[in-house]
Amino acid sequence: MNPLAWSFRAQFALGVLLCFGLLGFALYVQYGLFLDPCPLCILQRIAFFALGLIFLVGAIHAPGALGRKVYGVLAAIAAGSGIGIASRHVWLQSLPPDQVPDCGPGLNYMLDTMPFGAALSKVLQGSGECAAIDWTFLGLGMPVWSLVWFLGFFLGVLYAGFRHR
């Protein structure tokens, strides 16, 4: 029952279940607990979704040695993007209250009124709403848990893609 000994296909299938399970939990928090996601939370969801899709395609494809490396790199890029976004979010939440940026416009408004690159840059700068900690588990906020998951996925996909079989 050691996941490190599983086949590439089984490891990527587990990744699919975990990613979409995490997204399901995020939807529960949004619609069940009525906690609206901030723009950085939405970007983290997109990274989990992209990672889940790569896992799904890799699990269905069950590639050879070169393909496993390609899927490993693609998944590592998605997980690395998530690490960057979640790290920024954790950093914003660690700022003293007087250094937290002001709340900005919502993501939908920015996407409607700004070019995509400018909107993305503004979102990554963060805002006051991203610094709020509305939910914790074991004393850690959701961005910290997202960072932990992204780090685990990053290491896991590199292992799955590059280990000798």
Q: Say whether pLDDT at 150 is over 90.
A: yes
- The answer to whether residue 6 sits within a structural domain is no
Whether the CB-CB separation of 69 and 62 falls below 8 Å is answered with no
What is the domain range of residue 31? 16-162
Q: Say whether pLDDT at 5 is over 90.
A: no
3-state secondary structure 40-69: HHHHHHHHHHHHHHHHHHHHHHCCCHHHHH
pLDDT, residue 110, reads 67
CATH number at residue 110: 1.20.1550.10
Instruction: Quote the mean pLDDT of the chain.
Output: 86
pTM: 0.83
- The answer to whether residue 31 sits within a structural domain is yes
Q: Picking from 37-51, 56-70, 96-110, 150-164, which range would have the lowest pLDDT averaged per residue? A: 96-110
Residues composing the chain? 165
